[in-house]
Amino acid sequence: MSTRVFITQVGEIESFLRSFALSLTQNQSDSDDLVQDTLHRAMRNLDKYKDGTNFRAWMATIMKNIFINNYRRKSRQNTMLDGLDERTSTVIDRNHFEINTASSNLSEELIVNEIDALKDDLRLPFLMHVDGFKYEEIALQLDVPLGTIKSRIFHARRILRLRLTKLGY
């Protein structure tokens, strides 16, 4: 499919794409982003579109898959660090630390300092995992075997748990 044909067909289904995105996200700003991501992905993968197939269904499938992947990524961003203390749970979000504790308040600065104190080979995979990357994605990006990535993230969690426990948390 040529770019010109693609643009024409997108123009014909634009209102469908916008309403479908809004039905998925329930938010105008997020739906606009989803439409843009869908168009970008479709343009990058025009060579995979088979002429004669349902263009609207192809675009809807791309949009649905992007939405699901984004949802999963956001869910993983709220990774729990268990075992710090039975009365403490720490929810890590990309830009904010939220602390729930019965006995004390961990400061964001303390956690960030402890993460920064990790060796690079542990810190980078750990932070990528917290940001929502799958183990396979991290291994591919860092060009490290999958088992090594899993091990490094496990060790980073264990070290953080031990350090924070020593500090009385």
User: Domain with 116 in it: what CATH number?
Assistant: 1.10.10.10
**Do 105 and 145 have their domain in common?**
yes
pLDDT for res 127: 86
pLDDT at 151 over 90: yes
Number of domains in the chain: 2
**CA–CA dist 74, 70 (Å, integer):** 6
Note the residue count of the chain.
Answer: 169
**CA–CA dist 71, 63 (Å, integer):** 12
How much is the pTM? 0.47
Residues 19, 21, 22, 28, Cα dihedral to 10°: -110
**Do 71 and 82 have their domain in common?**
no
Mean pLDDT of the chain: 79
**CA–CA dist 152, 124 (Å, integer):** 9
Tens digit of each residue's pLDDT (9 = 90 or more) over 4-62: 888 888 999 999 999 999 988 888 988 999 999 999 999 988 888 888 889 999 999 99
**CA–CA dist 99, 85 (Å, integer):** 12
- The distance in angstroms from the start CA to the end CA of the chain is 59
Domain boundary residue, one of 48, 75, 102: 75
**CA–CA dist 160, 81 (Å, integer):** 9
Domain boundary residue, one of 75, 96, 121: 75
**Do 70 and 90 have their domain in common?**
no
**Do 35 and 100 have their domain in common?**
no
Tens digit of each residue's pLDDT (9 = 90 or more) over 120-137: 889 889 988 887 888 888
- Tell me the residue range of the domain where 133 lies: 78-166
**CA–CA dist 137, 142 (Å, integer):** 9
In terms of pLDDT, which residue wins out, 131 or 80? 131
